Structure 1
Amino acid sequence: METRLRGVGVSHGVAIGEVRQLGTAVLEPPAGQTSAREAPHELGRAQRAAEAVGADLVARGTLAGGEAQAVLEAQALMARDPELMADVARRIGVGATAERAVSDAFAAYRGLLAGAGEYLAGRVADLDDVRNRIVARLLGVPVPGVPDSDEPYVLVARDLAPADTALLDPSLVLGFITREGGPTSHSAILARAMGVPAVVALAGAEDLAEGAVVALDGGTGEVVVNPSAEERAAMTRTAADRRAAAAAVGPGVTSDGHRVPLLANIGGPADVPAALAAGAEGVGLFRTEFLYFGPEGAGGSSGAEPPDEETQRAAYRQVFEAFPEGRVVVRVLDAGADKPLPFLRGADEPNPALGVRGLRALLERPDILDTQLRALASAAEGLPVRAEVMAPMVADRAEARAFAVACRAAGLRAECGAMVEIPAAALRARALLREVAFLSIGTNDLAQYAFAADRQLGAVARLQDPWQPALLDLVAAAAEAAAAEGKGCGVCGEAAADRQLACVLTGLGVTSLSMGASAIPGVRATLARHTRAQCGRAAAAARAADSADDARAAALAVLSGE
């Protein structure tokens, strides 16, 4: 019998195939005590195992290349983390075996990450994988990995470790389905980099039977179990239509000529080629924190100290030069309590997601903000690019003013803007726009704060659905304020990558859309099939609904002409 499930689509595309479950490692070391005389031997075993796992992860990254290499090198740093190893040594010193000490030390650190906000909570799966690999090596047993198969399949798992995901063969793995994860988890990031359709946060994923046929849509998040022949044919047609749309070129524009620039979200210079290939008209979100969090040797900082001004300038200039006639919107460092960096570490906070993060953290360390702004000013010097700079997590006019003052003090001639990620900023958007030149809406965080729903937590994924009418109301409030002030208001959250929702956002008055590069051609083609007035009617219909599903259905009825 055909069954329909819905998770969170994080990598566009359609896949139909048989389920192959990824086994979960059950590596619970046996209880046991060692003598003080054995402690040096046990510590040596733990150190050698951790170093071997780190070296293996680096080797896998070198083989995979691209974005996967940076992810795996970051994971290798976990295996070699001196603080973790110091905790392992302490536990061995009081009688634990190497296996037990590693397991318990990683478990303690896991608890800290899980409670430290969405960015670091998203790294828990990475830490679990490192722990399993070290313990498996110490126990002399293999770590369960990707199943062997000669036929293409849909990989299903609780979560996917980067070390496995990075080396998957796209010709065999048709798509991913996971029980855990979210749009910013490494599984999602790597799936998008590979161009593999993926659905995460799917309740009941672990219950999908080995060998069962599923059809998944990585755009909508829908998974159909045992699809009928008619359903398979419909999804195959959908895939074909999307491939045809991917061949479209040109600027974003509705069928009646209303321009909606389509921009790319990038993490650094390595993402530029994909953006150019997709026909991006510029960059709507340049996440500069990758320079600060990135592993050494990959163009970034180790995290112990911020990258110097020249390192930053070189990275920014590479991106600016790639879009000589385009717009590049740079987000200054988005870090703080939930993305701790040693040089930004403040007092412990009971709720880091609501603490000193984003712009607040930078205003407490004006030297770091000033260095970044000066690097941006220098990087844009002499180039025709339309460079813009925006601050994350702006709450009110006072914060917007402080950022604008810092930009001017650094000699930055680029326009400065504010991200709308907090409901207060959407509700008082006109006040912010008296200090800055534009707004950019981050729909992921805006939904998280509007619904009190952690964006990494699968149990509340329905409240992270960007079709939620309350979220559309907040977008409308910001867009209407920008129109009243004669200024721009873009969307840079992944909501912009939803083809139909892109039309709704246009109807709400959004002036630009920024998304992962792979989504740009499809959004371009969908916009081109609808008038601006039709987009407006679809937006009104969606806002009049009482649930995300009803909003989606109402908008689609308008867009399809029903």
Structure 2
Amino acid sequence: MSETRTLHGIGIGRQLAVGPVLRMPDPLPAPSDTVSELTAAEETERVNVSLAAVAADLMARGERAGGTARDVLEAQAMMAQDPTLKASIADLLAKGKTAEMAVWTAFGGFRDMLIGLGGYMAERATDLDDVSGRVLAHLQGVPAPGVPDSETPFVLVARDLAPADTALLNLDKVMALVTSDGGPTAHTAILARDKAIVAVVGVAGAQELADGTTVIVDASTGIVTANPDRASVARAEDARDARRSAAAAPITDGALADGTAVPLLANLGSAGGIQAALAAGAEGVGLFRTEFLFLDATSAPTVVEQREKYRELLAAFPGRKVVVRLLDAGADKPLAFLNSAREENPALGVRGLRALRANEDILREQLTALAEADGDTESDLWVMAPMVATVEETRYFTALAHELGLRTVGVMVEVPSAAIGAANILQHAAFASIGTNDLTQYTMAADRMLGSVSNLQDPWHPSVLHLVKMVGDAGADLGKPVGICGEAAADPLLAVVLVGLGATTLSMSPAALADVRAELRGHTREEARALALVALAADDAADARTAVRAAINNRTPHTTQKEEHSS
């Protein structure tokens, strides 16, 4: 038997899978740079047909997938029809290049440009590569590189996975996903979490796993064990079944083992995710992203158009909290009617509240639409501004929102200045919601969608956790709620630590609710606080994660208050 190996990465969720490896095939090779035997017009027709076919296929995949995946795939479809890319391809065809070479060169140049921009835009390069590969495959009349077919279930191993492939994975066949690239906030991880796929990303050595190798993929620990012995496989299968049973337990409100309530809320990107959130037991909405109303528009939607969408959302959660984030445009979401000026570093530029404040008519219209929708429904509407950095910005936003009829007004904490100044900011805001994705990237100076620094894009890092504690402490001192709405809340073990740091609610993709609910039930408030101190004392993210797991394994089993009262 081959030697057992242990590989480490970042787990998505807490589930576990055991099965044989099947590797993702390599991308298509670069086409040969030969002179075309066709006219430029004929080559242009070939390109246009292939671009249109790929765009239509991606749109269709998005419709079938729904949810977060639809948004990602629609963005990819737009890449296939991008006018700038088409113009570049046309120039190359006019010089005698083949359709294949023109596509390869044009997409490659655009890819290099995105990488040069850095930040969120650099991560789009992976999506662009996928579109390019699909167009080339269509031109050559061969299947696009993608998930391999298999008659039996398997563990998919890849360098990374294109959104189009992740969105439509056959979960009857793909038992788990292991990638060598990517971090916890990359598209692959987000979509895997959204679809409840067992996944470990950023696994060093994953590319060395051969087809047929038996692996244990443990998302709760981020460990992939290759060539395990029979006893290890048996233990893993027992653990897998136990975790599935725990996740399938009757839905209850989020709470710790001692009965401390921790409301579990849903992150939604549009009203289309409402039913999935309700079915998963979401106690409300902790983050409703309003960008979907704006991103495909050439002008801002009217108050009436916005009000109807907000009313649909609020009506689905009568009596429950719904937290709406105002338009967070800029960085990877530029809007011509809001922030068209080119910026050298858009992630640090005019985005979020800064962009809205520079276009106050759009801000006022969005607040007005929310206030009118609130008046027509019975939910508990909370409204927050994105990318708040100062007390002055907090005063400005809360005053304007109150002026326009909104009651519960808060801020997102996504930059270190807001966390450090939380005690002053919460003097003026009704609540704070911590966006751990952005807070991590700004704390670590590591673009959260850039794979080359994915090792730093980890919200387990003690520096990030110290900032979370600052906000939690300020909220406790002032009696103000502090929520978590970044991807960190969907990590079951980290969710416990975040509660120990002072988080009063957790919001995540609906697919993550069951795992987090089950994990919280295993810890008291006192234990959560103790685990938070363990994480804060660590040197880095990996040490924090390992130390917390060790502390749990070494602790004496607790007796819950409920058990004490019944004895």
**Above 0.5 in TM-score?**
yes
Return the offset for 1:339.
2.4
Alignment pair present for 1:310 and 2:277: no
User: What corresponds to 1:374 in structure 2?
Assistant: 368
Distance in 2, Cα, partners of 1:431 & 1:161 = 43
1:134-160 superposed Cα distances (whole Å, 9 cap, x missing partner): 122223333222212111001111222
Amino acid at match of 2:27: A
How do 1:50-69 residues align onto structure 2 when only pairs under 5 Å count?
50-65=51-66, 67-69=68-70
How do 1:138-537 residues align onto structure 2 when only pairs under 5 Å count?
138-246=139-247, 247-293=249-295, 302-409=296-403, 411-537=404-530
Distance in 1, Cα, partners of 2:251 & 2:153 = 31
1:60 to 1:261, Cα distance in 2 relative to 1, 3 A: closer
**In the alignment, is the contact (CA less than 8 A) between 2:134 and 2:145 conserved in 1?**
no
Distance in 1, Cα, partners of 2:377 & 2:230 = 55
1:81 to 1:40, Cα distance in 2 relative to 1, 3 A: same
**In the alignment, is the contact (CA less than 8 A) between 2:371 and 2:405 conserved in 1?**
yes
- Matched residue SS, 1:514: strand
Return the offset for 1:217.
2.5
Amino acid at match of 2:459: P
1:142-199 superposed Cα distances (whole Å, 9 cap, x missing partner): 3222212111001111222233333332111111122233444443343234332122
**In the alignment, is the contact (CA less than 8 A) between 2:23 and 2:211 conserved in 1?**
yes
Return the offset for 1:422.
0.9
User: What corresponds to 1:5 in structure 2?
Assistant: 7
**In the alignment, is the contact (CA less than 8 A) between 1:19 and 1:154 conserved in 2?**
yes
- Matched residue SS, 2:28: coil
Unmatched runs of 5 consecutive residues or more in structure 2: 557-567
**In the alignment, is the contact (CA less than 8 A) between 1:263 and 1:283 conserved in 2?**
yes
Distance in 2, Cα, partners of 1:215 & 1:249 = 28
Return the offset for 1:284.
0.9
- Matched residue SS, 1:342: coil
**In the alignment, is the contact (CA less than 8 A) between 1:116 and 1:338 conserved in 2?**
no
Distance in 2, Cα, partners of 1:312 & 1:119 = 27
Amino acid at match of 1:361: A
1:476 to 1:175, Cα distance in 2 relative to 1, 3 A: same
Distance in 1, Cα, partners of 2:68 & 2:494 = 28
1:143 to 1:357, Cα distance in 2 relative to 1, 3 A: same
Distance in 1, Cα, partners of 2:70 & 2:342 = 32
Return the offset for 1:406.
3.1
Return the offset for 1:33.
4.1
Return the offset for 1:314.
2.3
Alignment pair present for 1:92 and 2:93: yes
Equivalent position to 1:547, from 537, 540, 558: 540
Amino acid at match of 2:344: P
> Please, which moves more after superposition, 430-439 or 456-465?
456-465
User: What corresponds to 2:564 in structure 1?
Assistant: none
**In the alignment, is the contact (CA less than 8 A) between 2:117 and 2:344 conserved in 1?**
no
Distance in 2, Cα, partners of 1:47 & 1:459 = 34
Report sequence identity in percent.
51
User: What corresponds to 1:296 in structure 2?
Assistant: none
Distance in 2, Cα, partners of 1:558 & 1:69 = 40
- Matched residue SS, 1:343: coil
Distance in 1, Cα, partners of 2:49 & 2:453 = 41
Distance in 1, Cα, partners of 2:168 & 2:511 = 20
**In the alignment, is the contact (CA less than 8 A) between 2:36 and 2:98 conserved in 1?**
yes
**In the alignment, is the contact (CA less than 8 A) between 2:257 and 2:524 conserved in 1?**
yes
- Matched residue SS, 1:338: coil
Return the offset for 1:485.
1.8
Amino acid at match of 2:10: V
Return the offset for 1:65.
4.9
Return the offset for 1:252.
1.9
Distance in 2, Cα, partners of 1:548 & 1:66 = 30
1:25 to 1:538, Cα distance in 2 relative to 1, 3 A: closer
**In the alignment, is the contact (CA less than 8 A) between 1:309 and 1:371 conserved in 2?**
yes
Return the offset for 1:133.
1.6
1:8 to 1:114, Cα distance in 2 relative to 1, 3 A: farther
User: What corresponds to 2:121 in structure 1?
Assistant: 120
Distance in 2, Cα, partners of 1:219 & 1:32 = 51
- Matched residue SS, 2:294: helix
Return the offset for 1:429.
0.7
- Matched residue SS, 1:344: coil
1:359 to 1:551, Cα distance in 2 relative to 1, 3 A: same
1:119 to 1:10, Cα distance in 2 relative to 1, 3 A: farther
Give me the TM-score of the superposition, normalised by structure 2: 0.91
- Matched residue SS, 2:315: helix
1:149 to 1:438, Cα distance in 2 relative to 1, 3 A: same
User: What corresponds to 2:559 in structure 1?
Assistant: none
- Matched residue SS, 2:376: coil
User: What corresponds to 2:563 in structure 1?
Assistant: none
Return the offset for 1:324.
0.7
Amino acid at match of 1:292: F
**In the alignment, is the contact (CA less than 8 A) between 2:531 and 2:548 conserved in 1?**
yes
Return the offset for 1:480.
0.7
Distance in 1, Cα, partners of 2:65 & 2:260 = 42
1:59 to 1:523, Cα distance in 2 relative to 1, 3 A: closer
Unmatched runs of 5 consecutive residues or more in structure 1: 294-301
Distance in 2, Cα, partners of 1:146 & 1:556 = 33
User: What corresponds to 2:34 in structure 1?
Assistant: 32
**In the alignment, is the contact (CA less than 8 A) between 2:7 and 2:206 conserved in 1?**
no
**In the alignment, is the contact (CA less than 8 A) between 1:17 and 1:153 conserved in 2?**
yes
**In the alignment, is the contact (CA less than 8 A) between 2:120 and 2:331 conserved in 1?**
no
